[in-house]
Amino acid sequence: MPNPASPRPLLDLTADSVAITQAICDVPSVSGDETTLADLVVEALADAAHLEVIRDGDTVVARTNLGRERRVVIAGHLDTVPINDNLPTRFETIDGERYLRGRGTVDMKGGVAVQLKLALELSEPIVDLTWMWYDHEEVSAELNGLGRLARHRPDLFTGDFAILGEPSNGQVEGGCNGNLRFELRAYGLRAHSARSWVGDNAIHRLAPAIDRLAAYEAETIEVDGLAYREGLNAVGVTGGVAGNVIPDEAMLHVNYRFAPNRTVAEAIEFARAMFPEYELTVVDAAEGARPGLDAPLAQQFVRAVGAEARPKYGWTDVARFSALGIPAVNFGPGDPLKAHADDERVATDQVLSCERALRAWLTGAA
């Protein structure tokens, strides 16, 4: 039975974006547990006459329908990786810079706070806006709330440009590398290790593959003016039956991060050509996304926020928009190297400057 003496605190979106960041970080929302935060978001926007609010599971969409010539989608995920004794948030000052520290401050409630504040405030933006705050980004792809929304409501995925609020140090990061994981298997013949010449050692047969990986110099490939650095790495190796047995099977798990000028199919072809003598099993694959910075709105956005465009190395949901033909970039406060870190922390000035830059662009002031 609810206790009327301690009602759930409402989310006040008229506060500044640092205060909003703190408020929404202090409502834990590890993947799978986003309902409370999604409820708060719906409540906070319910009275905004300029917004149509749509709920799908724990994903909340809010959009304007002002008949503008162009529409921009701005999205961020509500979930975080697990808390590791780093909530509630607290402020700290390091080398004169003020930070808000705690789980989610960087990835990515700082960006979400900026978006929520502007969603409520901007009743007359110069473009129509579709805001999307979604669940289950930090877990396996099939649970992703944005993916689910695209299946349930493909009609919502229309727009001329999309911005993901993923941490990018307040810069614009375009596109992302594709991601391929595959297993290479070598086979041999099992034998007692006291008579090893009777067997055929599968671990020894992995040597050429590991050699090739160790010697490989990953390329840097320019796509739409941005330089994407690739990576080809062993991320796991297993083999062995017992201390006295010549192993008949060994497996090398390889991760290939490839520039967005290649498709997944081309990346697989490349991998097969590089390791022709092994059994190759693809275990995960995600297309990359071209930066899309040749789109007029994208160029205007980069100029307006006064940022330099850079490539994004990690895979993000910009790829989903890219796949739907909507140019998309990452733009949010926070150092991506602090994402998922136990000392995750965002510089409060970065949150505020992102707020200012996005407001200026969306109101035509920039």
What is the set of active-site residues? 79, 137
The CA-CA-CA angle for residues 98, 104, 110, to 5°, reads: 60
Q: Which stretch binds a copy of itself (CB under 8 A): 160-168, 228-236, 289-297, 346-354?
A: 228-236
CB nearer a copy of itself, residue 53 or residue 341: 341
CB of 195 to a copy of itself, least distance (A): 5
Contact 343, 101 (CB under 8 A): yes
CB of 70 to a copy of itself, least distance (A): 31
- Candidates 102, 104, 170, 247: give the one binding a copy of itself (CB under 8 A): 247
- Candidates 229, 303, 323, 364: give the one binding a copy of itself (CB under 8 A): 229
- Could you say whether residue 243 binds a copy of itself (CB under 8 A)? yes
CB of 254 to a copy of itself, least distance (A): 10
- Candidates 142, 195, 276, 308: give the one binding a copy of itself (CB under 8 A): 195
**Token pair for 79:** 């979930």
CB nearer a copy of itself, residue 345 or residue 359: 345
- Could you say whether residue 10 binds a copy of itself (CB under 8 A)? no
Judged by CB under 8 A, how many residues of this single chain contact a copy of itself? 48
Within a 13 Å sphere around the CA of 238, how many CA atoms are in the beta-carbon half? 4
- Closest residue by Cα to residue 140 from 148, 129, 151, 132: 148
Exposed/middle/buried for residue 124 (C-beta within 10 Å: 0-12, 13-18, 19+): exposed
CB nearer a copy of itself, residue 190 or residue 356: 190
Q: Which stretch binds a copy of itself (CB under 8 A): 13-21, 70-78, 190-198, 324-332?
A: 190-198
Q: In what order do the strands lie in the sheet with 328-331?
A: 52-56, 59-63, 128-134, 71-77, 161-164, 328-331, 172-174, 309-311
CB nearer a copy of itself, residue 270 or residue 313: 313
11 to 40: interface string for a copy of itself, x by CB under 8 A: ------------------------------
Within a 13 Å sphere around the CA of 366, how many CA atoms are in the beta-carbon half? 20
250 to 279: interface string for a copy of itself, x by CB under 8 A: x-xx-x-x----------------------
- Candidates 126, 143, 150, 245: give the one binding a copy of itself (CB under 8 A): 245
CB nearer a copy of itself, residue 122 or residue 203: 203
- Could you say whether residue 141 binds a copy of itself (CB under 8 A)? no
**Token pair for 70:** 């162009």
- Closest residue by Cα to residue 237 from 270, 267, 202: 202
CB of 239 to a copy of itself, least distance (A): 5
CB of 66 to a copy of itself, least distance (A): 38
Q: Can you tell me whether residue 187 is helix, strand or coil?
A: strand
CA distance 176 to 330: 9
Contact 27, 33 (CB under 8 A): no
**Token pair for 25:** 């970080």
CA distance 124 to 28: 32
Q: In what order do the strands lie in the sheet with 90-94?
A: 90-94, 97-101, 345-347
- Candidates 181, 320, 338, 345: give the one binding a copy of itself (CB under 8 A): 181
- Candidates 54, 57, 231, 249: give the one binding a copy of itself (CB under 8 A): 231
CB nearer a copy of itself, residue 10 or residue 227: 227
Phi, psi of 91 (to 5 degrees): -90, 145
- Could you say whether residue 207 binds a copy of itself (CB under 8 A)? yes
Exposed/middle/buried for residue 62 (C-beta within 10 Å: 0-12, 13-18, 19+): buried
- Could you say whether residue 180 binds a copy of itself (CB under 8 A)? no
Look at the alpha carbons of 328, 331, 337, 339 in this order and tell me if their dihedral is positive or negative. negative
- Relative to beta strand 220-223, strand 161-164 is unpaired
Binding site for a copy of itself (CB under 8 A): 177, 179, 181, 192-197, 201, 203-207, 210-211, 213-214, 218, 229, 231-247, 250, 252-253, 255, 257, 283-284, 313-315
